Structures are given as C-alpha cells and as structure tokens.
Structure 1
C-alpha cells in the first residue's frame, strides 16, 4: 500500500508549527493516497521516525518522502538521509522514494513578485528589495539566491536587490538591513525566503519594525507558504515518481 511522509523543518514556535501542520493537512486533503503522515526534521513533533513508523503501522509497503524545503542544502543532502538510514535497515521490505526540494522555480519567483505587489502595490525603480534567506554553508545556497535575486528583480523592475541570511553565511540580517537602508532612495520591501512563520520570521518582523520607527519606509511580505502556488508545488511533488532510495 502506498504512503506519503511529508517532512518539514520544524520550529520552536507553536504558531509556526501549527501553520506548517495546517498547510500540510490542506495538502493531504487534496492528494489521493491512502496513507499520509506529517513529520518534522527537528524542534517539532512528530519527528521523522515516528511519522515513518505510523505509515508502516497503517500498512504501508511503499513510502514516498516529500521534503517541504525550499532549497537543496545540508538538510536535504545529509540530515534527512541520515534520519532515514536506520529506518531503511529496520524496514528493508518497504520501498522508499524521495522527491526533490522545491528549488528555484519560475512559478515561485512569480509568486514572490505577487506577494511584493500585494504588500506594497506597484513598485517603482527607486524602490528596493532585501531578500532574506535562512542560510547554509552549502555553496549552492549563494548560487540559488543569486538566481532568486535576478529573477525577482526582472519581475519587479526595481534597481536595487540585496540578499542577506539568518545563519551560517554573510551578510547576516543586521548587516543586510544596514546595507539596504544606506543605499535605498525609495521604499524598502523585505522578502523573507521562508515557508512558514516562526521565530525566524518574528526576528525579521522585529528588526523591520525598528527600522520603520527610525523613519525608513520599510515593510516585509511575510512568509511564502501563504501563497497558493506553494501548496500546488507540494501536491505535484506528492504525485511525482520520486527517486528510489531503497527497494526489496
């Protein structure tokens, strides 16, 4: 019997965890697979091993892993496979496949432009964007955000787009805000490249509000998961074949 195990990142924020679970429950209601379970890599229960075992207990003989991650980095390349390794040994007869992270897709860049326009209305070339990534030491992260920056700039027509990160690589959020406020001549729109709310989005919101109180015309779009296209991508991933990890 076929099953899907969705794997989110996880957060210490109850509000953020609830948001992710509600999102995935909405996806589950639109996917025609008999067994579907939600799990998280860290910080939020149920964890991967519990979700996996629930699938098996419900009769799963094939499990498709669907990671809910925007980009391919350490979590996709190392952490999730490491968590799955002992489960593969424990349940060798269960066929296991996995889908890719979302990656840099045209429809996601379109969605970001829509979120920006919804937040701030039509932009002028003098407005500026600050894209905030989670951050990773994986070298592909900078490459991906270079593509994201270019794609969003093309769609919005602004002259200045900067990128900063919340962890692992520079520039960090504080420096990114200093750079953008020093260069900007018009409005500043901060774009958190995050799927759901949580402590990271709260941090961005607090620092944006501080800049606003100093007199800057600055706001942020909120998380990307609220755009319907993200749900569509997950549903498509759930229907895709996936890459074989192990078989009998």
Structure 2
C-alpha cells in the first residue's frame, strides 16, 4: 500500500509549526494516497522516525518521502538521508523513494512577484528595490540558486535592484543587507523573506524591518511564501507524481 511521508524543517515557534501543519493538511486533501503522514526534521514533533513508523503501522508497503524544503542543501543531501537510512534497515521490505526540494522554478518566481504586488496593493516603480533574504547554507549551490532567484525577480518586477542576503552561515548577513540597501534607497524597499512558513526567522526579519521603518525608511516586508497557492500546488504535484518524477533513496 502506498504512503506519503511529508518532511518539514521544524521550528521552535508554535505559530510557525501550526502554519506548516495546516499547509500540509490542506495538501493531503488533494493527494491520491491511502496513507499520508506529516513529520519534521527537527524541533517540531512528530519527527521522521515516528512519521515513518506510523506509515508502516497503517500498512504501508511503499513510502514516498516528500521533503518540504525550498532548495537543495545540507538537509536534503545529508540530514534527511541520514535519518532514512536506519529506517530502511529496520524495515527492509518497505520500498522507499524521495522527491527533490522545490528548487528554483518559474512558477515560484511568478508567485513571489505576485506576492509583492499583492503586498504593495499598487504599482511597482523602477526606483523601488528588493532585498531577498535567504535562510543561508554553507552549500555552494545556495549562492548560485539565490543569484538565479534574484535575476528572475528583477525581470518580473523591473525594479532598480535586487540584493541578496542571508540569515545564517554565509554573507552578506541580513543586517549587512539592510544597511546596504537603505543607504542607497531611492524609492521603496521591499524585503522578501525566502521562507516557506512563519517562525522565529520570519519574526526576526519583520522586527528589523519595523526598526528601519521607525527610522523613516520606506521599507516593508512580504509574508512567507507558502501563503501563495502555487507552493501548495507544487507539493501536491510532487506527492501525486508517478515514479519517473522522483529518485530512489540510496541504501
């Protein structure tokens, strides 16, 4: 029997955890699988081992792992496979496959542009600028991906500039990015947190944007990306896809 095990990142924020769970509950209603379970890599229970065990207890003979992560980095390449490997040994008769991270997709860039327009509730001007804020990773592919994202957003919104900064692991930091973009501001500054759900990281971004607002800067912040239904549709499509759309886990 086929099962889907969704894996989110996890957060210490109760609000962020609830947002992720509600998102996945909505997804599950559109996925054609008799068994579906939600789990998280860290911080938020149930964790991967428990979610996997629940699938087995409900009669799963094949489990598709669907990670709810924006980009391919250490969690996708190392942490999740490390969690799955001992489960394969414990349940050798269970077929295990996994989908990829959401990646840099045109539909996601379209959704970001729409979120910005919805946030501004009016026209975007060429003097406006964007600060794209990533979670951050030491994986070298992270910078490559964010350069692609920045270029795609700039094409769609025709703003004067799109700067990139990160919340952890690599520079420029978010604080550095804020200082740089406010020093050269000509029009409005729109901060885009490249985060799927709310949580402590989004709270940090919003707080620092408010501090800049109090100093008189014309700066504002968009919401988490999962607020756009395009993200939900991508996850639904991944979960419903047949075997050629995803790769086997290395055992």
Common fold: TM-score over 0.5: yes
More deviation in 237-246 or 98-107?
Answer: 237-246
Encode CA deviations 1:161-186: one digit per residue, 9 max, x unaligned: 10000000001111110011011100
Encode CA deviations 1:74-123: one digit per residue, 9 max, x unaligned: 00000000000110100010000000100000000000000000111221
Tell me the residue number matched to 1:106.
106
**Structure 1 stretches of 5 or more lacking a match?**
none
CA shift, 1:129, in A, is 0.2
Encode CA deviations 1:55-78: one digit per residue, 9 max, x unaligned: 000000000000000000000000
Tell me the residue number matched to 1:83.
83
CA shift, 1:15, in A, is 0.1
Tell me the residue number matched to 1:222.
223
Q: Is the 8 A contact 1:88 1:246 kept in 2?
A: no
SS at match of 1:63: strand
Encode CA deviations 1:197-221: one digit per residue, 9 max, x unaligned: 0000000000000000000011011
**Any residues of structure 2 matched to 1:26-175 within 5 Å, and which?**
26-120=26-120, 121-175=122-176
CA shift, 1:159, in A, is 1.4
The 2-side partners of 1:113 and 1:203 are apart by 22
The 2-side partners of 1:21 and 1:29 are apart by 13
TM-score, normalised relative to structure 1: 0.98
SS at match of 1:43: coil
Runs of 4+ aligned residues of structure 1 deviating over 3 Å after TM superposition are none
SS at match of 1:184: coil
The 2-side partners of 1:21 and 1:212 are apart by 32
CA shift, 1:246, in A, is 6.1
**Structure 2 stretches of 5 or more lacking a match?**
none
**Any residues of structure 2 matched to 1:207-218 within 5 Å, and which?**
207-218=208-219
CA shift, 1:27, in A, is 0.3
Q: Is the 8 A contact 2:81 2:249 kept in 1?
A: no
The 2-side partners of 1:100 and 1:59 are apart by 25
Q: Is the 8 A contact 1:96 1:246 kept in 2?
A: no
* Total equivalences in the alignment: 247
SS at match of 1:190: strand
Tell me the residue number matched to 2:24.
24
The 1-side partners of 2:56 and 2:211 are apart by 49
Instruction: Note if 1:243 corresponds to 2:244.
Output: no
Encode CA deviations 1:14-63: one digit per residue, 9 max, x unaligned: 00000000000000011110000000000000000000000000000000
Q: Is the 8 A contact 1:188 1:219 kept in 2?
A: yes
TM-score, normalised relative to structure 2: 0.97
The 2-side partners of 1:128 and 1:43 are apart by 34
RMSD of equivalent CA atoms: 0.8
Q: Is the 8 A contact 1:136 1:169 kept in 2?
A: yes
